[in-house]
Structure 1
Amino acid sequence: MPEFIINTDDNVYVPAEDSYLLADNLEIEHGMSVLEIGTGSGIVAMYASRLTDNITVTDINFDACELARKNFQANNIENIEILFGNLFEPLENRKFDVILFNTPYLPTEEGEVIDDTLNYAFDGGLNGRKVIDLFLNELKSHLNDGGIVQMIQSSLSDNEETLAKLDELGFMAEIKASEHFFFEDITLINAYKV
């Protein structure tokens, strides 16, 4: 895959193994509409821009929106719409063919929360599911029939619960890829709306 110029910012998640696990396994065909929630530096969206022209990204961190804009410009990528806001909030009733999300999946105790916008990138609440469950609850109304969700989470935030919730929502879901790190598996879950 092509390499990109990536600027970083202390207030924005720096692309890491989880970012590339998603970027390397994108299931996007030309002409599909793509939404990435929590774009951060914009790295995943930049890989997606090589596959389709219709991409929208959101982030709750305004610094991330600005950094993504800077990175898209540095790489001459002009086909990505950037929206500031939490999860699906800035999208109203729009639907997409593909939804991507490298979730904030780390279980976080009160004393581990950092007083900084970077906290949004990893803080999954006490059980690691605070944001994942909010995302899953709204997912169906923003995905076209036949669409796919590709989301990254951790074994620490209960993959089985995510698969069960997706099943309840009528998706066909599977763990598509995973990588083992010290004390957890980072997993890519693919879910198809049938």
Structure 2
Amino acid sequence: MPTYYGLKLKLHPQVYEPAEDTFLLAENLAVKPGDRALDMGTGSGLIALFMAKKAEFVLGVDVNPIAVELARENAKINGIGNVEFIVSDLFENVEGEFDLVTFNAPYLPGEAKEPIDLALVGGEGGREVVDRFIGEVGDYLRAGGMVQLVQSSITGVEETLRLFKKFGFQARVAAKVHFFFEDIVLVNAKKV
């Protein structure tokens, strides 16, 4: 069983395995003691479990039921109790407000054919999931709350910054990692 950031994780072939984009988020998390945090697209649960070490409470959400089961198992394996996991298509089943919302967003253009594709495919043009998320996330943030969104330069970082601004956020690229044909960027957006 692999260990990431001190957490033992069980993996599943139909759930996104933590990779460079996950690590970029993990190493730049803005979680503070006492926060209520939401991890959108939680996958194996790594980010949610990592945040739970500091946060008061973390809700991990995924559209893939296999991921939600796996994340629950990983919480048990690591003895972490201040985290809950639910199946939800973005905010469909989410209630309440959070201090921090994280999302390692799917961004490849195309159509999801099996559960693992939901972690990678962001709609026909690759931006549909990100655009929907940005349009809705403000309703689930406390005043002064922060969004940390991971995406690829392939799907237009400038468009993401513009959209955040349109919905009342101050957004900036906080970190990035370069790969062969793309940059993976972390956008921090604060509700103003």
- TM-score bucket (shorter structure): over 0.9
Give structure 1 regions of 4+ aligned residues with deviation exceeding 6 angstroms. Answer: none
Q: How many residues align?
A: 189
- Candidates 119, 122, 126, aligned match of 1:121: 119
Query: What SS does the corresponding residue of 1:18 show, helix, strand or coil?
Result: helix
Quote the offset at 1:53 in angstroms: 2.2
Quote the offset at 1:126 in angstroms: 3.3
CA–CA distance in structure 2, aligned partners of residues 121 and 151 of structure 1: 14
Quote the offset at 1:107 in angstroms: 2.5
Cα displacement string for residues 82-123 of structure 1 (whole angstroms, at most 9, x for unaligned residues): 11111111114x111100000001223xxxx45210110000
- 5+ residue gaps, structure 1, are none
Equivalences for residues 3-42 of structure 1 within 5 A: 3-42=6-45
Query: What SS does the corresponding residue of 1:29 show, helix, strand or coil?
Result: coil
CA–CA distance in structure 1, aligned partners of residues 112 and 167 of structure 2: 33
Please say if residues 143 and 191 of structure 2, whose CA atoms lie closer than 8 Å, have aligned partners that are also in contact: yes
1:183 aligns with 2:185: no
1:55 aligns with 2:58: yes
CA–CA distance in structure 2, aligned partners of residues 60 and 189 of structure 1: 22
* Residue equivalent to 1:132: 130
Amino acid corresponding to residue 20 of structure 2 in structure 1 = E
Cα displacement string for residues 60-96 of structure 1 (whole angstroms, at most 9, x for unaligned residues): 000000000111111111110111111111114x111
* Residue equivalent to 2:99: 97
1:82 aligns with 2:85: yes
Please say if residues 107 and 156 of structure 1, whose CA atoms lie closer than 8 Å, have aligned partners that are also in contact: no
Amino acid corresponding to residue 5 of structure 1 in structure 2 = K
Equivalences for residues 141-160 of structure 1 within 5 A: 141-160=139-158
Could you tell me the percent identity over the aligned residues? 42
Amino acid corresponding to residue 73 of structure 1 in structure 2 = K
